[in-house]
Structure 1
Amino acid sequence: MALIAIEEHWNLPALTSAVKALPEDYGDPSVLFDEMGDNLERLHDIGDARIAAMDAQGVDLQILSLTPPGTHPLEPTRARALSERANDVAAEAVSRHPARLRAFSTLPMADPKAAVAELERAAGLGFVGTMVYGRTGETPLDDPRYDDLFAAAAALRQPIFIHPQIPSRPTRLAAYSGFDPMTDLALATFGWGWHVEAAVAALRLIVRGTFDRHPDLQLVLGHWGELLLFWTDRVDGLSRIAGLERKVSDYIRSNFHITSSGMLNPTLLRHALDVTTPDRLLFSTDYPFQRPVREGIEQFLTAFPADDREKFTAGNACALFGISLTTK
């Protein structure tokens, strides 16, 4: 049974340096997590050592995605240059390991027109989708200036992965501060804030009517839906108020795919299957921040209904991203 992992991170040192050089109000302190343990060494490698780690886990193919925050905090000129550079590096890695790697593109969201152009260029290079974040500066992803990007993604069949990002500095100060610095950061990121940010970004896109305008657009959310799957009873009430054509939960079932992000918890799987369908679920490990071992992965897969297990491990990813698996 083939296994495709779709949220597997790498890092471009020049981009990390550019983010670290930003003023505090514009930077992203979550880059500190890249330097914990041997994360940085693993993030920098998109070659033989990564393939060896995949072999150890039993992963046949990874979809590479640049680690947060991408180029979103940068001003347009730097964002354009570093997005192009990151995509060229990722494309070259895929060309070296075509049976083992694919990639999501990085887009210069500070320049919406350039983001569309880079999405088109990356699609031509063989990228299978793109990864974005819910906010660029103070501009939310659902802002009308990005509607051309969603139209292009739908036309090109390029799914958009909305990855969590750190809340804005005012939000962090108001809701996630008052402890020691590392606890503040953890609470604002992997402990809670990241996931709320991604859920709000996805929900705003629905409420904005994005999927009424672009019914073929497909999005991906990690971490079992970033809390959104657990609140459908409440968010469905937004549909009538916002004048949507369908219930919020209907858009989740028809326009969103959900990944495990290394959270191999059968309870979360069962709930996801109650909210959406087996052909909407995707496997991922969130490498290298989560590193489930082969035995743990195999044990988790036994919790998946046998008739649909191969959809989760590879079939759904192949269908969504247009992947044809080849022999190693």
Structure 2
Amino acid sequence: MRIVTLEEHFTSPELVKRIPKEVIADRGWTSPENAPPIMQQAQKLLPEVGDIRLKSMDEAGITVQVISVSGPGADLLPPEEGVQLAREYNNVLAEKIAAYPTRFAGFAHLPMTAPEAAADELERAVKELGFCGALINGTTNNLFLDHASFMPILSKAQELDVPIYLHPNFPQKAVREAYYGNFPDAVSSILASGAFGWHAETGIHILRLFASGTLNRFPKLQLIIGHMGEMLPFMMARSEDMLNKELVKSDRSLSEVLRQQINITSSGFFTLPPLKTAIETFGIDRILFSVDYPFSENEKGKAFLDNLDLPAADLEKFLHGNADRLLKLKV
């Protein structure tokens, strides 16, 4: 069966060199030599979009990867420099996709410090480069997407009818120090990121978009979040009780908004209980398979799928149907 994965990553070391090292460190990224082993291994694989990646995909039965920029990017640069870096990143990614057009698709990288220009770059990436939407890595200058400055980006995504993948990033420095500090660098980095911090902050990011009325302002906007819903499936009923529509003055409840505008990928999660919870709370039409390559291994994804016992129609939606529909992929 056709399999599509859409939280799969790429980086260009040459482009990253244009970002000052101190800015990268301040955002929370550890230097390669001090990074946890999982990050060091991923760094070796991230730049490659060719034979190695395709071999791994083939062995896992993956038909299409939707690729996005990982790591330090245009959001760390002043507006003018960020716009140029994002544009070059998207051009590089488009070239790599064009070499294997039936195997790869892409999410745009946006210059988030220049929101109006980011909206323009999203339009260029979709209309000229054929990208499926955009991926945004967490906060920008400690601001969440409910901030008024980012409305042009959300408006443009809704206008173009393309989703935004809201991917985790490191919490701001004060949060990292308060919640994840006082450990060796590698331990603090993982605790603040893949072990917990990334997922908690992305879940809060979505709740802010509801509480602020932003999702009501853009009711046709579709967002994607990874990692089996960034804790939201487990927390949905509790959060809705506390953050009720009367309190936030919303015509729709939290669960209604989540089920209508948020899509979940399974990236990095390969056990059954989180998937069952996601399906039972969000519904199978909102759940999409992903791996999180190269931070997670395609082989783990294959082993997970080999042990799934979903109805055939649900499995088809999970493996490719929902992604094909949401991203308008060529089949």
Note if 1:231 corresponds to 2:238. no
Report deviation, 1:49.
Answer: 2.0
Structure 1 residues 91 and 24 mapped into 2: Cα distance closer, same or farther (>3 Å)?
Answer: closer
TM-score for the superposition, normalised by structure 2:
0.93
1:176-255 equivalences in 2 (<5 Å): 176-236=180-240, 237-238=242-243, 239-255=245-261
SS in 1 for 2:75: coil
Match of 1:281 in 2: 287
8 Å contact kept, 2:164–2:223: yes
The AA in structure 1 aligned to 2:90 is N
SS in 2 for 1:29: coil
> Pairwise CA RMSD of aligned residues?
1.8
Match of 1:150 in 2: 154
* Consecutive unaligned residues in structure 1, runs of 5 or more: none
Match of 1:22 in 2: 22
Distance 2:323 2:31 in 1: 28
Report deviation, 1:40.
Answer: 2.4
Note if 1:272 corresponds to 2:278. yes
Which sits farther off after the overlay, 257-266 or 205-214?
A: 205-214
Note if 1:58 corresponds to 2:61. yes
8 Å contact kept, 1:116–1:152: yes
Given candidates 75, 80, 84, the residue that maps to 1:77 is: 80
Structure 1 residues 147 and 295 mapped into 2: Cα distance closer, same or farther (>3 Å)?
Answer: closer
8 Å contact kept, 2:222–2:261: yes
1:80-119 equivalences in 2 (<5 Å): 80-119=83-122
Report deviation, 1:150.
Answer: 0.9
- How many matched pairs? 324
Cα-to-partner distance string for 1:120-145 (whole Å, 9 max, x where unaligned): 10011100010013310122211011
Distance 1:23 1:295 in 2: 37
Given candidates 303, 306, 319, the residue that maps to 1:299 is: 306
Given candidates 135, 138, 143, the residue that maps to 2:139 is: 135
The AA in structure 1 aligned to 2:266 is S
* Consecutive unaligned residues in structure 2, runs of 5 or more: none
Distance 2:23 2:305 in 1: 45
Given candidates 34, 42, 45, the residue that maps to 1:39 is: 42
Report deviation, 1:25.
Answer: 6.8
8 Å contact kept, 1:19–1:28: no
Distance 2:302 2:22 in 1: 42
Structure 1 residues 110 and 89 mapped into 2: Cα distance closer, same or farther (>3 Å)?
Answer: same
Distance 2:36 2:66 in 1: 19
SS in 2 for 1:62: strand
Report deviation, 1:59.
Answer: 0.4
8 Å contact kept, 1:164–1:197: yes
Distance 1:220 1:170 in 2: 27
Distance 2:94 2:40 in 1: 27
Distance 1:234 1:297 in 2: 29
TM-score for the superposition, normalised by structure 1:
0.94
Distance 1:34 1:288 in 2: 14
Match of 1:166 in 2: 170
